[in-house]
Chain A
Amino acid sequence: MIIPLLGLLLGIFIGLLSPFTIPIQYSTYMSIAILAALDSVFGGVRSSMENTFDIEIFISGFFANAALAAILTYIGDQLGVPIYYAAIFAFGVRLFQNFAIIRRYILAKMKKNSK
């Protein structure tokens, strides 16, 4: 659990130092990318806790999910319909599910330790 947090801190540090900013029309793509990354982090933490972590699934999941979300956002932009809500919804639901499972693992571990 601590390793991704360290990565997060390092990423924030790099982000603060880097000169990049996002033009306003691409901000939805960026938020989708953030969601995809968040989803991957939670998914990765969960699978590593379950000892089912698979590099291929993890990497392909991250990029393919981000790509699909970006495509949905692009199509939605062209049609004038916010289709990227579908991606937000899917990522959001999975995020909470993964988080719930992680929580259960941590609680179970704490109970074991206290016994």
Chain B
Amino acid sequence: MKKGLSAYYLFAIGIILGFFLTVQLKSDITSLGIITIPKLLALEKDVSNIEVEIENLNKSINELEQKLKEYETSLSESGSIYNSMMEEWKKIRNYAGLEKISGPGIIITMNDSKKEIGIMDNPELYVIHDIDVLEVVNELKAAGAEAISINGERILGTSNIECGGPIIIIDGKRHAAPFIIKAIGDPKVLEASILAPDSYIDLMEYTGIEIDVKKAENIVMDGYKAPLKLNYQKSIKEGESK
């Protein structure tokens, strides 16, 4: 009799257990686990990253709204958005380095060392290498140069500077010393950063490489002349996926 009674209760508890189990499984609860301090910090970082992203998106919304306003005003003034589109097109071409431009900036002339080389000296240190030019160009970019040319060759975002033995190759064209690097930007800032202690030029001068930095009020620079080829990239409408 006792055993029969226990069966009922076990049956009831079994029902409760099965009910709880299925309800819990049905609720589709993702495992939260314990929130440890590193996890908390990571989440905080995520949140702040997302906040920054939102801010950037808001900024771009403002910019786009401004552009839209520009289009609208030009549409109401001249009846078409052709003019403002043309202006934007020119701006983009200037930014890409395709147009002939002028502006204030600095001119750097680099020449091989004319020092007498001793027997023990490494002659490698007394000539200009591709990497030297590359470092100077990078420093100019870091200082906010808007346009850079080397020996009349316009440097684009995709330009390459390679070693070619006694010469250097810039975008497939050969150039020999002296190298004249022109940069358009704030002349004071460019000069200060290029001549700063511990800058690349400051280090190069130890080996007697001749470097001359001049500020110029009006530098005229040709656009990029080689044909533009895009073999691999395609335009898409959607934003970048991460």
Contact = CB atoms under 8 A, between A and B. Distances in A.
Chain A interface main SS type: helix
Contacts of A31: 24
Interface size, A (range): 35 or more
A11 B15 contact: yes
A10 B6 contact: no
Contacts of B12: 7
A76 B159 CA distance: 62
A48 B6 contact: yes
Identify which of B5, B7, B15, B28 gathers the most chain A CB atoms within 10 Å of its CB.
Answer: B15
Interface in A1-23: 3-16, 18, 20-23
Interface in A24-47: 24, 27, 30-31, 33-34, 37-38, 40-41, 44-45, 47
A22 B28 CA distance: 9
Given A21-B26, A30-B23, A38 B17 contact: yes
Contacts, number: 118
B120 interface: no
B9 to A, nearest CB: 6
Among B13, B15, B19, B22, chain A packs the most CB atoms within 10 A around the CB of B13
Contact of B18 (A9, A45, A82): A9
Contact of A5 (B14, B21, B26, B27): B14
Given A21-B26, A53-B5, A82-B34, A11 B19 contact: yes
A2 to B, nearest CB: 9
Contacts of B16: 11, 37
A14 B24 contact: no
7 contacts: A11-B18, A11-B20, A11-B21, A12-B19, A15-B26, A18-B19, A37-B20
- Closest 6 A/B residue pairs (Cβ): A11-B18, A7-B14, A15-B22, A53-B6, A37-B17, A4-B14
